[in-house]
Structure 1
Amino acid sequence: MGQQTDILLKGIAASPGIAIGKVLIIGSETLEVEKKTLKTSDIDAEIEKFDSALAQSISDLEKMFDKTRASYGENAAQIFNVHKYILQDPMVVDKAKKKIRAEKVNADWAFSEIMNNYISKLKGMQDERFHTRTTDIQDLKRRVTRYIQGGSQQHLTKLTQPSIVFATELTPSDTIRLEKANVLGFAMDFGARTSHATILARSIGVPAVVGLNRAGQLIKEGDNMILDGDQGLCIINPSTKSLSRYKKRYDEYISLERQLHSIKNLPARTKDGKDIELASNMEFPEEVDHICELHGDGIGLFRTEYLYLAGSTNPTEEQQYQDYKHILEKLAGKPLIIRTFDLGGDKPPASLSLSREDNPFLGVRGVRLYRNSGEDLFRTQIRAILRASALGDIRIMFPMIACVSELRECKAALYKIQKELDKEGVPYNKSIPVGIMIEVPSAAAIADLMAQECDFLSIGTNDLIQYTIAVDRGNKNLAYLYQSYNPAVLRFVQQIIYQGHQQGTWVGMCGEMASDPLMTMVLIGMGLDEFSVSPVSHLLIKEIIRHVEYHECESMAKKALDFSTAADVEKYLTDIYQKKFKRLLHL
């Protein structure tokens, strides 16, 4: 008998960890929707059927909100409030009814067409976060369509024993109906790091691998599987050799995880007593409970683009205010840095008609949108932020600032809105800190001038690398150039920190570089005041901070800046990390 051969699939590492177990498959549901022509006398009854389906769906969502809040916390449940908001959105409901009446068509077809159009728009955007929202829309479309057609909601296979859950894609409704105590991990053909299932995986601490593409053709119910959420690997029916190797890794991983969790309540302080602020980046409000459990220094970057994914209309001032208020209550006095929306170009809000651009990353995005068709959106968001600032430590951060004049325009708009609130007698923090994300080379080159104009700087390395090296970070053919260890990038980072400090301005970093353990000592040595990292990297970065001395970090930073290639820098940092933190290599 021949030796068993592993079936190895490569996907996207979406949530860290290792899981070994049997597979439970959740099948995707296909609903047939056929266009039918109605008699005029049948239209009112069809509208009633549509209203009834909406009411039943909203009732389901309210129940799922309650169930999710009880099992996972209120923030994880917020996705169902977003779904409810979509089904109550006049732009969706009224449009569907108008289509039924005007075209004399069946409700399920009219509603599906509207939702399909919305899905197409989201898929046409380059930003991954928008792509993942298509799963939410599909979930809602299926739910309402099922009720229109007189069916009931699909029941998932009962998860009665610990299993690795596989699906082509997992909707929020799917994930919430699983017994979380028996979920070892998630594997999906589709999905992304920002999908609801992967956010949930990270919040409950199980691995997830997405983007496997063809796994559904190979996996059978009950198959044995190894899920490697660190490397983005899925091994189907692994060999004895692979099982032995991964069981050893799993034991080491669990041991290290326990060690890291033991430092949650300890400060991010070097061995020689230098305190480093360690905050978290946040994509969606449902992540805040997990972030609070890390006992860090608040949220150093709250990306607010999610606000514009919920429906075809823009979020109101009150909706935004309530979101910010809820997050502040959870943070209990710790800072919340809100980045005003970075939309436009490849990710325009559905409510704005923006012309298509040949190069959206160099087009109308971020603050450039604020002075054009996005002016009202900006005003609404700033009003909500200012109102919430009366309740806690909120700080405003403007994205994509390229020159001092843009920063001054944003500050002038902020001042004007403050005067409005003063007239209305609305309380807010009159000394609210204002900063910018340094992610454009022109801003990095004049960091001293920028620092004179604001309260803090935060380095956004993702775009800074892209713009400095003139490379599309999403282009796989140019991946070899997109290097955070590029000497030009490192010199920019050092310059920003130095010039910021020369002006007495606090400097943080919220890009992926801050989450890179190889760079931790270098950034400490450069004098970085704050690391805002991915929540999954938080404890690892804290562990490194607590086992180094500031003077050795300074020496390491100086040495790293002497190299002439990214490869040389990476080799130097890797060698030191392997020697100093060998026990952490499994994370």
Structure 2
Amino acid sequence: MKLTGIAAAPGYAWGHAFLLEQAKEVERIQLRPEKSTEEVARFTAAVEQAVSQLKELQERTRATMGLDYAEIFESHIMVLKDEEFVGRAKELIVGQLINAEAALSDVTQELVQFFESMDNVYMNERAADFRDISKRLHGLLTGSEQLSLCDLDGPVVLIAHDLTPSDSAQLERERVAGFAANIGGSMSHSAIMARSMEIPAVVGLKNATSSLNNGDFVILDGVKGELLINPTAEQVSAYRKAKETYERQREESKAYLYAPSVTADGKIVELAANIGNPADAVHARNNGAEGIGLFRTELLFMGRRNWPTEEEQFYAYKLAAEAFGGMSPIVIRTLDIGGDKELDYAKRPRERNPFLGYRAIRLSLDERDRFKAQLRAILRASAFGNVKIMFPMIATLQELRAAKALLAEAKADLDAIGVNYRHRMEVGIMIEVPAAALISDQLAKEADFFSIGTNDLVQFTMAADRTNEKLSHLTDPIHPAVLRLIRLVIDNGHKEGKWVSLCGEMAGDLAAIPIMLGLGLDRFSMNAGAVLPARIALSAITAAQTKEMAEAALRMESSDEVRDYVHAIMPHLRELFQIRR
């Protein structure tokens, strides 16, 4: 039997299935009025114990996986200190005279339904956080023993309805060969952690937990996104060979780790990495990246209780610059909040169309003091490396000019107190709004560089929400309509002598790379694991060939036609997809 889901972390794993049990039905008990105070105290004690456990788990995660992953648990701790959650449960205990377990279940159900009803991937994933918190509290209230994944004999293939952040933080390569889940997406917390630990994972399988039993032998294919239950001897043999090939390809790719990024006919291309924190910068450098093409600074603002100070930001930017040192470019994007990225502590009104709403540079230009604090922090960090600054979601010349005016004020602030910074630091913009692409000839006169953000550019161009699975056929970045906009941006940038980069997910798309190079793109910035496959792909083709491919792609009618065309010319790309990590 074979189940098909979403490949969340690449690789192959096999072994006996270990089913992570789901929470049992909650018993509802009616209390006598005089018992409600005692019940509230019992619930409060469980909350305090849960906070203590999460702090310990946070410290363990910080030591083993880094600060970014540990911050996931900070939001859980915040919830346990939030009266809207804890206080609501206490109200139900007293008001309805029910036991703490039932009150917790009711509040959790309300919140999960609320977040899951929202047409927003980030907010949907908050539902998993509340399930995780509730599961922990329920275990403490009932005294039921919590399963510790650290205690597994392993290696097993873990099967769950949904692997929560608390569960996934306990994954260890020696005990868990891979994991599969009924629900989840490629950007869920568990998927991100699995990729960081290089544990193969498949999510979105829908009915994995009901399709097998504990102890069943399974094969997990994290490349295709499949789970085979009780496979035949022939299938086991085939997957052993596939894993050998996969491991060999990954090992061979290391030969390109510090090789130049150059085409077969000698054209040099820069391959940089996208990061979200200083630890990612070290990981990117170790994976062969030649710099940072996009520092997503909003990740420093998320998963915490308040705005980061200027000093905290400066320290993070400085560490990222020092990770590469010298002249390697470090492009730092200013705060890009909104759309599917929100801050729990920034109280903002709910919007009907958040992707088209009050976000990114629009928000920063109104939050002048906070924006200038970030600008000063970036400027100060520029003294420690080749730092460049980039403004997100620019749609008009007026926005660019306003942002540059505030940057000038930030420089004046530092000049007044004698703080050193890179005075000739380049200032660029993201091209992710079709309006910006269409006036890129004007913007190129006032920006030092362009970086094309295809994640938003595609959804705005195609009028298709990139988080909606039903519209995935419209959100392929290699669609000819998107390619024509990208060509316009590159041509207009080059006319003014400005370099053009690409930092959306498209940059790591191996089928898109030769097309982008043929259109004249100067630099690519991608996730760190995509750098080596991209370098290998570039080495196998000439710049002249890419120009021919780009011209042909622009005349095609669909993204499928473009992909089929590229794979026909470069069939080895299919193998390279498998070694991305």
What TM-score do the two structures reach when normalised by structure 2? 0.85
Deviation at 1:49, TM superposition (A): 7.4
Which residue, 356, 361, 364 being the options, matches 2:358? 364
Could you say which residue in structure 2 is the equivalent of 1:87? 77
Q: Does 1:160 align with 2:150?
A: no
Which residue, 74, 81, 87 being the options, matches 2:66? 74
Would you say the 8 A contact 2:78–2:305 is kept in 1? no
Would you say the 8 A contact 1:186–1:209 is kept in 2? yes
C-alpha distance after superposition, 1:142-196 (max 9, x if no partner) = 4456556667754347332322222222223322333322332221112222233
Q: Does 1:444 align with 2:434?
A: no
Q: Which amino acid aligns with 1:517?
A: L
Could you say which residue in structure 2 is the equivalent of 1:470? 463
Would you say the 8 A contact 2:518–2:547 is kept in 1? yes
Secondary structure of the residue aligned to 1:257 is: helix
1: CA distance between counterparts of 2:196 and 2:551? 38
Change beyond 3 A, Cα 1:91–1:451: farther
Change beyond 3 A, Cα 1:480–1:356: same
Would you say the 8 A contact 2:265–2:543 is kept in 1? yes
Q: Does 1:188 align with 2:187?
A: no
Secondary structure of the residue aligned to 1:194 is: coil
Secondary structure of the residue aligned to 2:247 is: helix
Q: Does 1:64 align with 2:57?
A: yes
C-alpha distance after superposition, 1:488-528 (max 9, x if no partner) = 22122122122212212121101222122122222222221
Change beyond 3 A, Cα 1:119–1:64: same
2: CA distance between counterparts of 1:383 and 1:122? 36
What value does the CA root-mean-square deviation take over the aligned residues? 3.8
2: CA distance between counterparts of 1:332 and 1:155? 41
Which residue, 7, 30, 37 being the options, matches 1:13? 7
Which residue, 338, 347, 353 being the options, matches 1:344? 338
Could you say which residue in structure 2 is the equivalent of 1:569? 562
Could you say which residue in structure 2 is the equivalent of 1:4? none
Deviation at 1:53, TM superposition (A): 5.2
Could you say which residue in structure 2 is the equivalent of 1:3? none
Would you say the 8 A contact 1:300–1:336 is kept in 2? yes
Change beyond 3 A, Cα 1:98–1:216: closer
Which residue, 170, 189, 194 being the options, matches 2:163? 170
Could you say which residue in structure 2 is the equivalent of 1:260? 253
Please identify, of 560-569 and 93-102, the stretch whose mean Cα deviation from structure 2 is larger: 93-102
Q: Does 1:293 align with 2:283?
A: no
2: CA distance between counterparts of 1:431 and 1:96? 51
Deviation at 1:95, TM superposition (A): 8.1
Would you say the 8 A contact 1:348–1:354 is kept in 2? no
1: CA distance between counterparts of 2:29 and 2:381? 47
2: CA distance between counterparts of 1:383 and 1:478? 41
Would you say the 8 A contact 1:22–1:163 is kept in 2? yes
Please identify, of 381-390 and 205-214, the stretch whose mean Cα deviation from structure 2 is larger: 381-390
Would you say the 8 A contact 1:43–1:100 is kept in 2? no
Secondary structure of the residue aligned to 2:524 is: strand
Q: Which amino acid aligns with 1:350?
A: D
2: CA distance between counterparts of 1:322 and 1:192? 32
Q: Which amino acid aligns with 2:69?
A: I
Please identify, of 309-318 and 535-544, the stretch whose mean Cα deviation from structure 2 is larger: 309-318
Change beyond 3 A, Cα 1:184–1:48: closer
Q: How does 1:101-500 map to 2 (within 5 A)?
A: 122-123=115-116, 125-143=118-136, 146-147=139-140, 154-156=147-149, 158-282=151-275, 287-307=280-300, 309-311=302-304, 313-332=306-325, 334-345=328-339, 347-372=341-366, 378-423=371-416, 427-500=420-493
Q: Which amino acid aligns with 2:499?
A: W
Secondary structure of the residue aligned to 1:480 is: helix
Deviation at 1:217, TM superposition (A): 0.9
1: CA distance between counterparts of 2:520 and 2:189? 36
2: CA distance between counterparts of 1:385 and 1:462? 24
Deviation at 1:278, TM superposition (A): 0.9
Structure 1 gaps, min length 5: 1-6
Would you say the 8 A contact 1:494–1:526 is kept in 2? yes
Would you say the 8 A contact 1:249–1:586 is kept in 2? no
Structure 2 gaps, min length 5: none
Change beyond 3 A, Cα 1:151–1:487: closer
Change beyond 3 A, Cα 1:554–1:36: same
C-alpha distance after superposition, 1:197-226 (max 9, x if no partner) = 222221232321111121111122222222
Secondary structure of the residue aligned to 1:500 is: helix
Q: How does 1:540-551 map to 2 (within 5 A)?
A: 540-551=533-544
Secondary structure of the residue aligned to 2:518 is: helix
Q: Which amino acid aligns with 1:190?
A: I
Secondary structure of the residue aligned to 2:266 is: coil
Which residue, 524, 532, 552 being the options, matches 1:531? 524
Would you say the 8 A contact 2:58–2:73 is kept in 1? no
1: CA distance between counterparts of 2:339 and 2:193? 29
Q: Which amino acid aligns with 1:238?
A: P
- Percentage of matched positions with identical amino acids: 37
Please identify, of 358-367 and 14-23, the stretch whose mean Cα deviation from structure 2 is larger: 358-367
1: CA distance between counterparts of 2:544 and 2:434? 29
What TM-score do the two structures reach when normalised by structure 1? 0.84
